[in-house]
Amino acid sequence: MAITMYDLAGAEAERRFSPFCWRARMALAHKGLDVETIPWRFTEKEKLPQPNAGRVPVIVDGDRVVHDSWAIAEYLDKNYPDRPSLLDGSVGRGLARFVQNWTETVLHIGEIRLVLLDIHGHLGPADQAYFRADRETRFKTTLEDVVKDREARLPAFRASLDPLRRTVERQNFVSGSKPAYPDYIVFGAFQWARAISDFELLAADDPVRAWRGRMLDLFGGLAGRAPAYGG
């Protein structure tokens, strides 16, 4: 029986934009597991299976419910050990945490100030009201103000990608010659932006963009086929 995954969606059901859900989606594909995704919106907290933390991804595998993208990766490695490994040993697992922390403190924080308003533009009315109120409280200003002057902030954002750039210039994937879970962590951040914004984060000749292209092609173009902007 296919695994079910609750996946954050915009007003269009097929527009999936959560960086954390993309981690889980790519991880399931890496394992070669069938998945049926259920579009889920910010304001549908009561629709999630128990237990959950009010956020997605949540997966249901038979009678087991797993929430949190990291917990899902560990669950998949533990329960499907005969499939390709996501975290590959104790050092791989330890360093995946470093990659995650880099992604969340550098990439996510840089990106959110570039695309926050574009997320809002892709939500239905109920989610828009929730999202504006929640994020404006968090940022202590309007969504419009958060992304103001984003053109001016783009060079610093691109410079912050140097560790990633140098890595994927010298090897095909963050994890080496083949992709593994750390690639999906980093890729989730870019797929998030692509899904909801036409603001291009990466210059045409950026090695990071070439790597993103390799990620979009994985698993028969799984991520590349999804509704999104640009390449």
Give the number of other Cβ atoms within 10 Å of residue 80's Cβ.
16
Beta strands in 17-130 (DSSP E): 35-40, 58-61, 64-67
Would you say 21 or 186 has its CB closer to its own copies? 186
- Rounded to the nearest whole angstrom, what is the least distance from the CB of residue 199 to its own copies in the complex? 24
Tell me the closest approach of the beta carbon of residue 169 to its own copies, in angstroms. 9
The token duo for 51 is: 């237990």
CA-nearest of 8, 11, 17 to 229 is: 17
Q: Which residue has the tokens 């533990």?
A: 78
**Minimal distance in Å, beta carbon 134 to its own copies?**
23
In the complex with its own copies, the residue whose CB is nearer, 62 or 89, is: 89
Rounded (10°) CA dihedral 144, 149, 155, 160:
-40
Nearest distance from C-beta of residue 127 to its own copies, angstroms: 29
User: Is the preceding omega at residue 182 within 30 degrees of 0, hence cis?
Assistant: no
**Judged by CB, which is closer to its own copies: 8, or 96?**
96
* Nearer to its own copies among residue 92 and residue 224 (C-beta): 92
* Cβ distance to its own copies smaller for residue 124 or 176: 176
Residues near its own copies (CB under 8 A) = 85, 87-99, 101-102, 104-106, 162-164, 166-167, 170-171, 173-178, 180, 182
DSSP-assigned states of every residue in 64-96: EEEESHHHHHHHHHHH-TTSPPSS-HHHHHHHH
The nearest distance, CB 226 to its own copies, in angstroms, is 26
